[in-house]
Amino acid sequence: MADTPKPIEPRVSFAALVRSGQLHKGVASCLSTISRVAAATSNDIYLVGGMVRDLVAQRPEISTSPDISIIGDAEDFARIVVANIGCCQLVSVSQHHTAKLNIDQTIVDIASARIDSYEPLGSLPKITLVEDIETDLSRRDFTINAMAMPIHPDGLGAIIDPFGGRGDTNHGIIRIIREDSFREDPLRILRGVRLAARYDYRFDSATAQALSDARDDLRRMVEHSPLRVFNEFRLWFARHEKLDALLEIANTTGLLDALDVDTAYPPDTLRRVPQNAPDLERFAAFTYLLPPDALAALRHRLSMSTEWAATAKHSSTARNVADRCQYTDVSDIDLYRSLIRVPDDVIRAAIAAEHSATVKSRFHDFRDRLRHVRTDLNGDDLIALGVKQGPMIGELLDELLTLRIQGAISSAEEERRHIVNWLADD
């Protein structure tokens, strides 16, 4: 039986955190290495964000991608780290004073300590660098995300918690730091709902009211910055998120309405989608359950990447086929032609989300049998048998495929015989 994680103590060692299962060995090594560079360059660095939140909550599974805040220039420091340690690559830098490193397969995000101002509300922030971590924490969204721990070569220092995030973590509460937090950045609404579902936390009353009041701000943001909204929205479908709980909260708070997703999901429907399914498969289950007009509106309003937009389109196709299977007798060949271009992850999602036993059975039959039907002969084979080049090649191959699906022929020899007979009759 695994050891019970011990509470965080001031200046806890990396070795103790690794032994207790609270920190991955690779992450601990990475943080220690970065801290040695910071000490040599007289930079103060802090562990911030979700990893601190999970350490405080004593969660046994903690993110392997640490977020670091530095008093100073993040890009300059990142380049110094790359120059001084092996197995390190500078992945990216941004105008927002952030840098991303890959250190021996561990992704590390480094950001300069700063404050943000939003003018007008909902716009991209104007950034001002600051010289202390407490001011940097004051710009964050929720108290549970506004804690920091100094990083030393041998471990982590005492928790810096100016807004009571540790108490809110212990009590399972999500609380905004400022009254106008959601109006400053409506994306925090999507993030807050995701955290509430993941940890089974609740919004305190003032935060719940602020969320409700800011739904129109989110709706306007969808109109003016659809790509930013989509990039936050897509995180709902990550493997570790509790999709069914998340959508229940989103329904209850009216958040889906702000995204023009006007529907209610049947209880437990998305719980049947495997927790470890890829994000696009989970997204496919979500879109499969949307009415066609709601899905069309969502695709139109959010600037989805090509892959996600294609998944939504394929999901709509699967839903249309399901409706036909439910109410009409769809032939095998019709089912094949309708679904053959739909990716398998979308079919799996449809099977998981579908309630109809009839539809489930037809979709299973397609996955297990029909999808794999192929002709043995190809166009060159038909030409060798005497068929003239041209459109007829495709028509005859399609005819052979149909006969294969119907079970009328089952071997290469029978395919050849069929073509020879056709040539004789032609």
The residue assigned the tokens 């937090």 is 181
Distance CA 362, CA 4 (A): 47
Tokens 């539809």 found at:
359
Amino acid at 19: R
Provide the token pair at 139.
């710009």
User: Which pairs count as long-range contacts for 33-39, CB under 8 Å and 24+ apart, including other chains?
Assistant: 33/85, 33/103, 34/68, 34/81, 34/103, 34/108, 34/151, 35/151, 35/152, 35/153, 36/153, 37/77, 37/80, 37/81, 37/84, 37/85, 38/70, 38/77, 38/151, 39/152, 39/153
Contact 197, 245 (CB under 8 A): yes
Distance between CA atoms of residues 406 and 331, nearest Å: 9
Kind and range of the H or E element at 100?
A: strand 98-103
Contact 256, 247 (CB under 8 A): yes
Tell me which H or E stretch contains 407: none
pLDDT at 5: 46
What is the Cα–Cα distance from 268 to 264, expressed in whole angstroms? 12
The pTM (predicted TM-score) of the whole model is 0.84
Which residues 6+ apart lie within 8 Å of 112 measured at CB?
Answer: 69, 70, 71, 72, 73, 74, 97, 98, 129
Closest by CA to 188, choosing from 133, 109, 122, 258, is 122
How far apart CA 234 and CA 212 sit, in angstroms, is 21
Spans of the chain below 50 pLDDT = 1-5, 7-9
Instruction: For 33-54, write each residue's pLDDT tens digit.
Output: 999 999 999 999 999 999 999 8
- Length of the chain counted residue by residue: 426
Dihedral of the CA atoms 332, 335, 336, 341 (nearest 10)?
Answer: -170
- Predicted pLDDT at 4: 47
pLDDT, one tens digit per residue, over 265-290 is 665 677 788 888 999 999 999 999 88
In one-letter notation, the amino acid at residue 39 is A
Cα–Cα dist 182/158, whole Å:
29
Q: What pLDDT does 292 receive?
A: 82
Sign of the C-alpha dihedral computed for residues 206, 209, 214 and 218 taken in this order: positive
